């Protein structure tokens, strides 16, 4: 079986779509996983590693009041990071990771608290308007294990969204089968 990143690249190629990544706790690991796949340059727009909280606002457009009130480890922050990187880098899909890998708690959140988000083309996804979805994770393990599971989880979330959205070709075939309607 192929890796999640390989499958992401394959599906994005089939659909003719692109992805951009906003990372915090994963520090570039999601981008590295995707770009390790041959042919990723056809679908990968780029990434922003906004490790510092102020960069989440400055580079990704995350609401600064939200950051001040809730901190960076928050579902809404993850959603805004995904939407922000999608817009900033001109991609069809935006991914985001934010959380606490350890060794110490952050923003009142225990180690292992992670939020992963995907923002896609309007009308896709099963979350907020605009095609967004956020998943809250409570992960166990050491720092490296939490970061790697965060990478796996955000790629799995994108795969789930890609699989639920028919490609342009599938839509055309469906139209033909239904007499052009």
Where helices occur in 38-167 by DSSP H, the ranges are: 53-60, 64-70, 75-88, 143-164
Range(s) of the domain holding residue 163: 4-177
122 confidence band (pLDDT: 50, 70, 90): low
Res. 115: pLDDT tops 50? yes
CA distance 10 to 131: 21
Res. 125: pLDDT tops 60? no
Give residue-wise pLDDT tens across range 30-84.
999 999 999 999 999 999 999 999 999 999 999 999 999 999 999 999 999 999 9
What is the structure's pLDDT at 15? Answer: 95
What is the structure's pLDDT at 153? Answer: 98
pTM of the model: 0.87
CA distance 59 to 70: 19
101 confidence band (pLDDT: 50, 70, 90): very high
Domain count, the chain: 1
Res. 166: pLDDT tops 90? no
Residue 143: burial class (beta carbons within 10 Å; 0-12, 13-18, 19+):
middle
What is the structure's pLDDT at 68? Answer: 96
Q: Strand 132-138 vs strand 113-119: parallel, antiparallel, or unpaired?
A: antiparallel
Contacts of 128 (CB under 8 A, 6+ apart): 79
69: CATH:
3.90.950.20
Average pLDDT over residues 96-101: 97
Q: How far is CA 123 from CA 76, 149, 179, in A?
A: 19, 28, 24
Mean pLDDT of the chain: 89
């Amino acid at each position: 079986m192929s890796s999640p990143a390989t499958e992401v690249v394959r599906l994005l190629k089939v659909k003719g779509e692109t992805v951009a990544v906003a990372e915090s706790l994963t520090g570039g690991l999601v981008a590295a996983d995707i770009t390790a796949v041959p042919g990723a340059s056809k679908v990968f727009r780029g990434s922003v590693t906004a490790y510092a909280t102020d960069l989440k606002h400055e580079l990704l457009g995350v609401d600064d009041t939200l950051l001040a009130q809730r901190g960076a480890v928050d579902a809404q922050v993850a959603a805004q990071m995904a939407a922000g990187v999608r817009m900033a880098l001109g991609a069809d899909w935006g991914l985001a990771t934010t959380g606490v890998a350890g060794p110490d708690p952050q923003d009142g959140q225990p180690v292992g608290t992670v939020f992963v988000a995907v923002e896609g083309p309007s009308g896709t996804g099963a979350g907020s308007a605009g095609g967004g979805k956020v998943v809250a994770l409570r992960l166990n393990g050491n720092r490296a294990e939490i970061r790697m599971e965060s990478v796996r989880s955000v790629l799995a979330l994108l795969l789930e969204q890609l699989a639920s959205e028919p490609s342009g070709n599938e839509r055309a075939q469906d139209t033909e089968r239904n007499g052009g309607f």
